[in-house]
């Protein structure tokens, strides 16, 4: 069954002591079986410096399936004039009705298949009539993250529809079977936890 109302709770530890608990939600509202929902958790300030371990807990509700008809038909991976990593492409509504609040979510990976960062963007305009397509643009300006990116995947959804199965893009494709959590310190002294929530026929 698909999942929705998903909440990810991260418990942050320093020298074995729980110092904070942070909650977030995936960037996709509905996660179909065998699909993944990327999320990130950003901890700022002094708390970030002391964190040496974390644990994740997930809560969710089962929901009815949505038609998987929002499709990303093409994409390009490049560096712009400001040296920012940029992903552009086209998303299409293959459904029978208008798709509202269309979003595209990018997951970016390093050479080891670990998640480096995730990013979400809204298509402009944020609706797609049946059969229509629209352009999207995703930018990753943080050089400490983008410098280690060698691969990415994209997925899209709307209020009415969910995405077709996640499809990887890019000429630098790495064939990886699993993705583990990645924790890194940015130049802003913040700690970022990025990972996937997977829906694998939960019962």
Highest mean pLDDT among 37-46, 65-74, 167-176, 191-200: 65-74
Q: Check whether 175 has a pLDDT greater than 60.
A: no
Look at residue 20 and tell me if it is in a domain: no
Look at residue 33 and tell me if it is in a domain: no
Look at residue 138 and tell me if it is in a domain: yes
**CA–CA separation, 189 and 198 (whole Å):** 29
| Beta bridge partner(s), residue 168 | 153
* CATH code at position 165: 2.60.40.10
Look at residue 132 and tell me if it is in a domain: yes
Instruction: State the CB neighbour count (10 A cutoff) for residue 189.
Output: 12
Look at residue 78 and tell me if it is in a domain: yes
pTM for the structure as a whole: 0.77
Which domain does 151 fall in, by range?
Answer: 68-177
Q: Which value, in Å, is the radius of gyration of the alpha carbons in the chain?
A: 17
- Looking at per-residue confidence, does 126 or 49 come out higher? 126
pLDDT for position 136: 94
- Looking at per-residue confidence, does 80 or 171 come out higher? 80
Look at residue 97 and tell me if it is in a domain: yes
Look at residue 23 and tell me if it is in a domain: no
Cis omega before residue 168 (within 30°)?
Answer: no
Q: What is the mean pLDDT of the chain?
A: 80
Please tell me what DSSP assigns to residue 32: -
pLDDT for position 36: 85
Instruction: State the CB neighbour count (10 A cutoff) for residue 170.
Output: 18
Q: Check whether 145 has a pLDDT greater than 70.
A: yes
Average pLDDT over residues 12-22: 90
Domains identified in the chain, total number = 1
Confidence of residue 166 (pLDDT cuts 50, 70, 90): low
pLDDT for position 162: 86
Residues above pLDDT 90, as percent of the chain: 41
Look at residue 126 and tell me if it is in a domain: yes
pLDDT for position 127: 93
């Amino acid at each position: 069954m698909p999942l929705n109302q998903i909440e990810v709770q991260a418990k942050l530890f320093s020298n074995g002591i729980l110092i904070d608990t942070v909650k977030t939600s995936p960037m996709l509202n509905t996660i179909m079986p065998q699909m993944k929902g990327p999320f990130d958790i950003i901890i700022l300030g002094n708390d970030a410096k002391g964190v040496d371990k974390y644990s994740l807990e997930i809560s969710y509700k089962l929901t009815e399936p949505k038609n998987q008809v929002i499709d990303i038909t093409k994409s390009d991976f490049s560096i712009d004039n400001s040296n920012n990593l940029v992903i552009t492409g086209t998303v299409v509504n293959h459904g029978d009705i208008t798709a509202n609040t269309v979003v595209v979510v990018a997951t970016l990976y390093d050479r080891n298949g670990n998640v480096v960062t995730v990013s979400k963007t809204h298509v402009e305009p944020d609706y797609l009539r049946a059969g229509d397509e629209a352009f999207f643009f995703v930018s990753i300006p943080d050089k400490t993250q983008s410098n280690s990116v060698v691969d990415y995947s994209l997925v899209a959804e709307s209020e009415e529809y969910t995405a077709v199965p996640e499809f990887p893009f890019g000429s630098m494709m790495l064939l990886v079977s699993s993705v583990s959590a990645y924790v890194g310190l940015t130049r802003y002294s913040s700690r970022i936890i990025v990972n996937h929530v997977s829906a694998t026929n939960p019962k």
